[in-house]
Amino acid sequence: MVDFIPQPVVKRLPMYYRYLKKLESEGRMFVSSAALAEMAGLTASQVRQDMNILGGEGCQGRGYPVGDTCRHIAELMGITRRKTMMIVGMGNLGSALVHYSSFDEKSFETVAVFDSDPCKIGTKVGSQIVRSADGIESFLKAQKADIAVLTLPAASAQAMAEKLYGLGVRGFWNFAPVDLHLPGEAAVVNVHLDESLQLLSYRMAHPDMWGAAEKEE
């Protein structure tokens, strides 16, 4: 177990977690690095390296205990602690995310949604009533939000992020097509759907240039 986890390993954690959960639901007690590698499209060697970095709990001759490893990774990712989310921007994507329920284990709970369009304010989206973006400051002074989901136009994303950072928000899940610049304290993950589709376009244009092995990532 190392106290620093390299980014490539960090990015594989959610995938490991997904496969381990699946194995757990199937009642498997142990899984070998070879079996896990096969599922995940990696090499057994890489799985063992990763598990070691994470603090390997493997049993020689049997493999890794599914439940323990799963919980260990969940702990590392911090999804055992519940987090509150506020969604800023009730466009199509924002509305869809209110309803989106695949978020594992109630780790993430939407507590408020905002928009600046007067036509939307006061309407109901799922279980939420859309609040005025003008009320964000007073809302955050009364109640903390761990994560801000930014589903608003590119032009307003940076300014909104800075405002929210100033009010104590430290997690930013950004769907606007810009890269946010925030102080080191903030954690940011960008979901650039348009760029994702462009990547697909590239792969369709060059079907030869990326091996089957890479399909998994």
Partner DNA sequence: TAGATTGTTAATCGATTAACAATC
Site for a second copy in 108-167 (CB under 8 A): 108, 146-147
Report in angstroms the alpha-carbon separations of 209 from 165, 198, 213: 42, 16, 12
Of 40-69, which residues contact DNA (CB under 7 A)?
42-46, 48-49, 51-52, 56-64
- Decide: residue 2, CB within 10 A, 0-12 exposed, 13-18 middle, 19+ buried: exposed
Residue pair 79/20 in contact by the 8 Å Cβ criterion: no
Give the N- to C-terminal CA distance of the chain in Å, as an integer: 25
Query: Least separation, in Å, of the C-beta of 168 and a second copy?
Result: 13
For a second copy, what does the binding mask look like between residues 11 and 30, x meaning CB under 8 A? Answer: x-xxx-xx------------
Q: Which is nearer to a second copy, 142 or 205 (CB)?
A: 205
- Say whether residue 106 binds a second copy (CB under 8 A): no
Name the token pair of 186.
Answer: 């903030």
Residue found by looking up tokens 């980014």 in the block: 7
Of 110-149, which residues contact DNA (CB under 7 A)?
none
- Decide: residue 193, CB within 10 A, 0-12 exposed, 13-18 middle, 19+ buried: exposed
By a kind-dependent CB cut-off of 5 to 8 A, residue 163 interacts, out of a second copy, DNA, none, with none
By a kind-dependent CB cut-off of 5 to 8 A, residue 45 interacts, out of a second copy, DNA, none, with DNA
Q: Which is nearer to a second copy, 127 or 206 (CB)?
A: 206
Q: Which range touches a second copy (CB under 8 A), out of 23-31, 54-62, 134-142, 180-188?
A: 180-188
Residue pair 189/174 in contact by the 8 Å Cβ criterion: yes
By a kind-dependent CB cut-off of 5 to 8 A, residue 51 interacts, out of DNA, a second copy, none, with DNA
How far is residue 209's CA from residue 203's CA, in Å, rounded to a whole number? Answer: 8
Which residues of the chain form contacts with DNA (CB under 7 A)? Answer: 6-9, 31-34, 42-46, 48-49, 51-52, 56-64
